[in-house]
């Protein structure tokens, strides 16, 4: 059988003090929420619902800057070069991965090797610095990431 040990005065009041502190914090939190609750005298909820939601704006330029893109393709490049903008590449040494491309000014999408990018164009290969696109009857197009 276990020996009986009488609790000292300090050992008795410590759990009670911790419990009282917890209850005081809970009551203070409830009071804080009650004081910050909106009152019923504010603007009617219908006024908020009457506003039309703001149209979503394209995040294209922000995505371009975040991925290190500094300028558009030069005007001297061919028509195909202007259609495709390479924004990023995730590729391993084996060539497996994905390229983030914007086609004809549309929002960027991820493409993997062999996937069709646009009418007649598909991803031929990927590496850490760029992507090679090919189309039937056209020379392969090499898109490179800008230097940082």
pLDDT at 49: 45
**Structure confidence at residue 29 as a pLDDT band (50, 70, 90):** very high
Confirm whether 67 is domain-assigned.
yes
Co-location of 44 and 68 in the same domain: no
pLDDT at 50: 46
Buried-exposed string 2-34: b where 16+ CB fall within 10 A, e elsewhere: eeeeeeeeeeeeeeeeeeeeeeeeeeeeeeeee
Confirm whether 24 is domain-assigned.
yes
Co-location of 135 and 88 in the same domain: yes
Distance CA(82)–CA(12), nearest Å, equals: 79
Confirm whether 128 is domain-assigned.
yes
pLDDT at 132: 92
User: Does 22 have pLDDT greater than 90?
Assistant: yes
Domain range for 25 is 9-50
If one counts the domains in the chain, the total is 2
- Which DSSP letter does residue 104 get? T
Reported as a single tens digit per residue, the pLDDT across 80-117 is 778 888 888 888 777 788 989 998 888 989 999 999 98
pLDDT at 75: 38
Confirm whether 86 is domain-assigned.
yes
Confirm whether 72 is domain-assigned.
yes
Co-location of 84 and 113 in the same domain: yes
Confirm whether 22 is domain-assigned.
yes
pLDDT at 73: 40
Co-location of 107 and 79 in the same domain: yes
């Amino acid at each position: 059988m276990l020996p009986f040990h009488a609790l000292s005065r300090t050992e008795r009041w410590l759990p009670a003090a911790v419990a009282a502190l917890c209850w005081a914090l809970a009551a203070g939190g409830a009071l804080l929420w009650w004081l910050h609750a909106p009152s019923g005298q504010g603007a009617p909820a219908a006024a908020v619902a009457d506003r039309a939601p703001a149209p979503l704006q394209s995040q294209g330029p922000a995505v371009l800057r975040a991925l290190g893109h500094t300028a558009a393709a030069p005007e001297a490049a061919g028509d195909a070069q202007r259609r495709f903008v390479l924004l990023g590449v995730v590729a391993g040494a084996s060539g497996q991965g994905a390229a983030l491309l914007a086609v004809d000014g549309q929002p960027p999408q991820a493409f993997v090797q062999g996937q069709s990018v646009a009418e007649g164009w598909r991803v031929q290969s990927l590496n850490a610095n760029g992507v090679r696109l090919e189309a039937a009857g056209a020379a392969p197009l090499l898109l490179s990431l800008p230097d940082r």
